[in-house]
Structure 1
Amino acid sequence: MPLSSPRAARRRRHREAVLGGSPRAGLPERDGPPLDVVTGMILDASPHLLVLRTAGPGGGEVRLPMTETTTVWYGGRGGLAALRPGRGAIVRPREDGLGADRVWVDIGRVTGTILACGRNTVEVDMGPHRGNAHVVVPPHALGRVLVRHPRLEPGYLIDVICVRSADGPRAVRPGTSQPGYRADDLGGPEASAPVPDAPHGTATWFGFVGTGLTAPRGGYDEGAWSHAGQRGSGVGQEALARPQDGVAYPAVDSEGNAGGCVDAPSGCVALPYLSLGSEVTVHNECSGRAATLPVVECGCAAARYCDRCVECGTSPRGRIVELTPQAFAGLGGDLEAGCFNAVVRPGVPAAGTAGAGRGRAGRW
């Protein structure tokens, strides 16, 4: 369960007192900042204006200009008809700030181990803190999913991009290619494997936009989202107030109060152990944008995927971080694409930089 804000802040202060300052100090000068992405519930839409209700300290009604170049995604390329009041939306602005560039409507993602398969359905274990999801795979999407996930059998991994429906999450496309091994056959790195200062690999995203559900276990309760049809489709204040910028990290320490999952696999990438409330700097190698984000969840599901991202070249194997949808889109990632090539620097000064000034981390 993610740490409360005061506790997370205390952890960051204690870490910085011992190890130095924020990992943002190590950002390359050439990196751009994240885009100002907005998430909320659709109140109204026209060809020229999208009105959302957001939550949080600065929440309220937000009006976002629409242009003829604005792209709407709703299970695929959509249009104005997809922007129905009551649906959840995440909006990324244009590079010049003049209007919305991309709008994703009711998008979600289910990642985990297949438990059972039925007629047009897949039951997925997303990990101990996310629960199970009952995913509908309609006939028109099944062929597309099978191309990249040929083993829809219990024990194998699955990763699908979904939209909300009355029956639960409805798969529309694969998020990535299915690893060829069973979920329990992953071979981790040797105990003596060196841990790089800035691991390279794949960044993905997790969660759902505008589910209208509370998250009693903290974070994004994706298992509860699978029952949206039975529990209402409106976006409540609790859902809108969930953490919007953060990461699930595959190597959260399971000892003490660090917050890691006891049975989490070691993954196929040697990563330094962190605790919930720590910070990591994520650099999108495709867009050139970077941001420092808090660890809000244990990424034990991501640790099971020894795959690659090919959005801009081919990344090394392994998922090194999962981002919340807003953070992923803000760094230039397209949610329907599922991943981007990334470098991640945990909030620890690089070796040999102590004499260069307190809190100064090494460069990428």
Structure 2
Amino acid sequence: MPLPRPRGARRRRHREAVFGGAPALRSGLPERSDPALEVTTGMILDASPHLLVLRTADGEARLPMTDATRIWHGGRGGLAALRPGREVIVRPKADGLGADRVWVDIARVTGTILACGDDTVDVDMGPHRGRAHVVIPPHALGRVLVRHPRLEPGYLIDVVCVRSAGGPQAVRPGTSQPGYRADDLASPEASTPVPDVLHGTATWFGDVATRGGTWPDAGQRGSDVGQVPGGFGAAYPAVDPEGDGGGCPDAPSGCVALPYLSLGSEVTVHNECGGRTATVPVVECGCVAARYCDRCVECGTSPRGRIAELTPAAFVALGGDLEAGCFNAVVRPHVPAATAASAGGRAR
């Protein structure tokens, strides 16, 4: 009987025992940056102008509300959007006193268009995420078409949605649509060197309806790989497809030269727009992100390529606004010392 595959923190400990720890993790990152915010996700139990009560994985959470608290539910929302049973993600004020932003039932659909109707799009979100049937209401269609003019099978799509009983409803484009077909991606040359520090775009994936809790939480960070999108982690575009690395064997090479990592590895992510930095575990193969050779323009123009897809909690904790879709990022993969020198030969 084969031995069970090491996962999460166990995989990380096994790798470091063989290869040693990652070298000089702060090298190439800002000397000083702000820490991640303490983000809360959960289901609404009750809400008033002064208090939001949530059920989270850690129990009941009571979060103060003020007149300055901004609520998103498909756009600008008010207290009426805070209905019991809906899922939310809450970012606190910088001083920690009360809720600054509340996103209600937000979701995102990213992938390859399979079919289109008059007001619907069927999307292949990759082998880990399945398929989605997205409704594009008339009031959102024009906004989507401005940045996604090719709503045709074979092209990529990326839309921010609001969850509904009938499935995700598109509200706005997550980014601009790449001009090429999903199967026509130009990969870097095999001889392209792999940098120690990556510069590009960080996006987010999934929704907040699958797991509630508070981050930072050392217990979550030390748990096994397989956390769902409501937790804290990242999908990395170059997870090693060989052996027990956890990657997809048919994943595209992408347009950025990246070092291979395995599930359970860690990456340090710095938000260049918000100035916050955190280390997150790799919880999924980001094979869909590898297909996007786009840029983020939240604060200047980033280099091409998505270098990390974060869970909603991690994205918000690093200062990102979910409806914006991305932030300009610096990412340092935690490559073990003994393998760092050979990483340049394993570009994706």
Q: How far apart in 2 are the matches of 1:140 and 1:5?
A: 48
- In the alignment, what sits opposite 1:298? 285
Count of matched residue positions in the alignment of Structure 1 and Structure 2 = 323
Number of the residue aligned with 1:154: 153
- Distance (Å, rounded) in 1 between the aligned partners of 2:138 and 2:308: 32
Q: Per-residue deviation at 1:129?
A: 1.3
1:298-337 alignment runs, 5 A limit: 298-337=285-324
8 A contact 1:24–1:291 mirrored in 2 = no
Runs of 4+ in 1 over 6 A off after TM superposition: none
Q: Do the aligned residues in 1 keep the contact of 2:134 with 2:169 (CA within 8 Å)?
A: yes
Contact 2:204 2:311 (8 Å CA) reproduced: yes
**1:256 is matched with which residue?**
243
Aligned AA (1:324): T
Show the counterpart of 1:53.
Answer: 55
Q: Which amino acid aligns with 2:249?
A: V
Residue 71 (1) aligns with residue 79 (2): no
TM-score scaled by length of structure 2: 0.88
Q: Tell me if the contact between 1:248 and 1:295 (Cα under 8 Å) persists in the aligned partners.
A: yes
Q: How does 1:260-299 map to 2 (within 5 A)?
A: 260-299=247-286
Matched residues in 2 for 1:82 and 1:290: separation?
31
1:120 aligns with 2:122: no
Deviates more, 1:243-252 or 1:196-205: 243-252
Structure 1 pair 7–22 and aligned structure 2 pair: CA distance change class (3 A): farther
State which of 320, 329, 332 in structure 2 corresponds to 1:345: 332
2:33 is aligned to 31
Cα distance in 2 for partners of 1:255, 1:29 equals 35
Is 2:23–2:337's contact at 8 Å kept on the other side of the alignment?
no
**Which one-letter code corresponds to 1:208 in the other structure?**
D
State the distance in 1 between where 2:35 and 2:335 align. Answer: 21
Q: Give, as a single letter, the amino acid of the residue that structure 1 aligns with 2:200.
A: G
- Asked if structure 2 preserves the Cα contact closer than 8 Å seen for 1:137 and 1:170, the reply is yes
Between the aligned partners of 1:317 and 1:260, the Cα distance in structure 2 is 22
8 A contact 1:202–1:315 mirrored in 2: yes
C-alpha contact 1:19 1:348 (8 A) present in aligned 2: no
TM-score normalised to structure 1 length: 0.85
Ranges in structure 2 where 5+ consecutive residues have no aligned partner? 212-224, 342-348
- Taking a change above 3 Å as real, the CA distance of residues 85 and 152 of structure 1, as seen in their structure-2 partners, is same
Report percent identity of matched pairs. Answer: 80
The CA distance in 2 between the partners of 1:78 and 1:50, in whole Å, is: 15
Matching of residues 163-178 of structure 1 within 5 Å: 163-178=162-177
**1:90-115 Cα deviation digits (max 9, x unpaired):** 00000111110000000000000000
1:300-355 Cα distance to aligned partner (Å, 9 max, x none)? 0000000000000100000000000000000000000000000110112679x99x
Counterpart of 2:197? 198
Q: Residue deviations 1:71-90, cap 9 Å, x none?
A: 00000010000000000000
Aligned alpha-carbon RMSD (Å): 2.2
